[in-house]
Amino acid sequence: MYSRAYKAFVSLPPLVWVGLFLLLPYALMFAHSFWAVREGVVVHDWNLQNFKTLYSNPVYFAVLLRTMRIAASVTLCSLLLGYPLAYYLSFHAGARKELLYQLVIVPLWVSYLVRGYAWKTILGSEGVLNGFLQYLHLTHEPVAFLLYSPFAVVLMLTHIYTPFVFLPIYASLEHIPRPLVEASQDLGAGSTQTFFRVILPLSIPGLLAGATFAFVLSLGDFLAPLLVGGASGTMIANVVQSLFGAAFDWPLGAAIAVCILIITISLLFLSERAEKRWSFK
C-alpha cells in the first residue's frame, strides 16, 4: 500500500538524524575510551590503559561497588513501595482507581530537581526533619547521617523511582483477567495463595521492566549524589563527570562511561529476555 518513495521519505530523515546524533556520538565516546591524555591534551593513542586503570584502581572500584549497592537498594525499596501500591490500585481501589492513578503519575513528571531539592531541605542538619524530631524532643541534636550520605541518595532516588516502578507493574496487573483471580478462589485458594500462585507470576514482566528501569537509571545518576550524597555518597557517574570537568581526562571518563553503557545494555537485554520468558500470551 505504501510506495517506495513514501517509505524512503519517512525512513530517511530519522535514520540520518539518529545516525548523526546517536550512533556517531556513541562511536565517538567509544573511540575516546581507547585514547589517552598527555599534558592536558587528548592524544589519539589507541590503547587499553583506561580500562586497566578502572579495573586496578581501588578507589574507582570501590565507588563502582558502592554505586551498585545504592542502585540495588533503590530498586529493592522502590519495588517494596511501588508493587503494593500498584496491587492496591489494580485490585482494591474500585471506583477511585482512575483518580488515584492520575495522582501517582503526576509526581513522575514533576522536575527531578524540584524533588531532589525538597529532600535536601528536609534532610539537612537544619532541615525540616531534624527540626521536626527536635520539636518532638525525640532527638537533642541534628542527626548527621540523614544528609550527605549514601542513605540520603538511596532515599531520594527511591522517592524519584517509585512511580517509575509503579507504572509497568500496574500495567501488568491490569492485564490479568479478573476471572483468573475468581477461578483461583473458586478452587479453594485464599487471597495470599492466589497472590503467590497466580497474580505474582503473571506480573513478573512488569516487575522486571520496572526494576531494570530503576536500577539502570540509579546506576548512572550523578545529580542525586551532588545534591544529597556528599563525599561518602559519590557514585560512579560523578567520577565520570569530574573527569570531564575539573579532573580533565576525557579518555578515562569515556572509558568509564562506556562501561556503564555496556552494563546498562546488558541488563536491558537480559531483562527483555526474562520478560519474554515470563509472559504467557
Partner 1 sequence: MSARTSTRRAPLLTVYAALVFAFVYLPIVVLILYSFNRDGVGGFPPRQFTLNWYRQLFADGPIWDSVLNSVIVAAGSVALALTLGLLAALALDRASFPGKALFRRLVLLPLILPGIITGLSLLMLAVFAGAQLSLLTVFLGHGTALISVATTELFAGLQKIDRSQEEASLDLGATPWQTFWRITLPNLKLSLIAAGLLIFTLSMDEIAVTFFLIGRDNTLPLEIWGRLRRGITPEINAISTLIFVFSVALIVIWYRVRTRGLGAEARELLERP
Partner 2 sequence: MSSAEANLTNETSPAPGALLEARGLAKHFGKIQVLKGISLNIASGEFLTLLGESGSGKTTLLRLVAGFEQPTAGEIWMGGERLDTLPPYKRQVNTVFQHYALFPHLSVRENVAYGLRVKKTAAREIGGRVDEALRLVKMQDFATARPTKLSGGQQQRVALARALVNRPQLLLLDEPLSALDANLRKQMQSELKALQREIGITFLFVTHDQEEAMALSDRIALLRDGNLEQVASPREIYSHPATAYTAQFIGQTNLLRGEIHRSIITCGNLRWPVEDGDGPAIFSLRPEAIRLCTDGKRQTHEVKFRGAVRQQIYSGASELLEVDCGGGQLLRVRLPASGPITGEHEFVFSLPDAIRVKE
Site for partner 1 in 222-261 (CB under 8 A): 222-223, 227, 237, 240-241, 244, 250, 253-254, 257, 260-261
Calculate the alpha carbon distances from 66 to 96, 149, 232 in Å.
41, 12, 10
Q: Which of 256, 258, 255, 257 is nearest to 35 (CA)?
A: 255
Calculate the alpha carbon distances from 8 to 4, 5, 13, 17 in Å.
6, 5, 9, 14
Question: Of the two residues 184 and 241, which places its CB atom closer to partner 2 in the complex?
Answer: 184
Site for partner 2 in 194-223 (CB under 8 A): 197-198, 201-202
The item of partner 2, partner 1, none sharing an interface with residue 7, based on CB under 5 to 8 Å by kind, is: partner 1
Q: For residue 96, what is the DSSP state? A: G
Q: For residue 42, what is the DSSP state? A: E
Q: Which of 278, 272, 162 is nearest to 218 (CA)?
A: 162
Q: State the minimum distance, in angstroms, from the CB of residue 70 to partner 1.
A: 13
Residue 189 touches partner 2, criterion: CB under 8 A: yes
Q: State the minimum distance, in angstroms, from the CB of residue 47 to partner 1.
A: 18
Residue 277 touches partner 2, criterion: CB under 8 A: no
Q: State the minimum distance, in angstroms, from the CB of residue 4 to partner 1.
A: 9
C-alpha cell at 109: 513528571
Residue 183 touches partner 2, criterion: CB under 8 A: yes
Residue 113 touches partner 1, criterion: CB under 8 A: yes
Instruction: Please list, in sequence order, all residues whose beta carbon lies within 8 angstroms of the beta carbon of residue 108, skipping any fewer than 6 positions away.
Output: 163, 164, 167
Cβ contact 140:117 at 8 Å: no
Residue 184 touches partner 2, criterion: CB under 8 A: yes
Where residue 191 falls (left for φ over 0; alpha for ψ -120 to 50; beta otherwise) is: alpha
Cβ contact 255:54 at 8 Å: yes
The item of partner 2, partner 1, none sharing an interface with residue 53, based on CB under 5 to 8 Å by kind, is: none
Question: Of the two residues 34 and 119, which places its CB atom closer to partner 1 in the complex?
Answer: 119
Residue 274 touches partner 2, criterion: CB under 8 A: no
Residue 46 touches partner 1, criterion: CB under 8 A: no
- DSSP labels for 120-152? HHHHSTTSHHHHHHHHTTS-SS--GGGSSSHHH
Q: State the minimum distance, in angstroms, from the CB of residue 99 to partner 1.
A: 11
The item of partner 1, partner 2, none sharing an interface with residue 264, based on CB under 5 to 8 Å by kind, is: partner 1
Residue 175 touches partner 2, criterion: CB under 8 A: no
Residue 93 touches partner 1, criterion: CB under 8 A: yes
Residue 185 touches partner 2, criterion: CB under 8 A: yes
Residue 186 touches partner 2, criterion: CB under 8 A: yes
Percent of residues in the chain assigned helix, strand, coil, to nearest 5: 75, 0, 20
Binding residues vs partner 2 (CB under 8 A): 177, 179-180, 182-190, 193, 197-198, 201-202, 278, 280-281
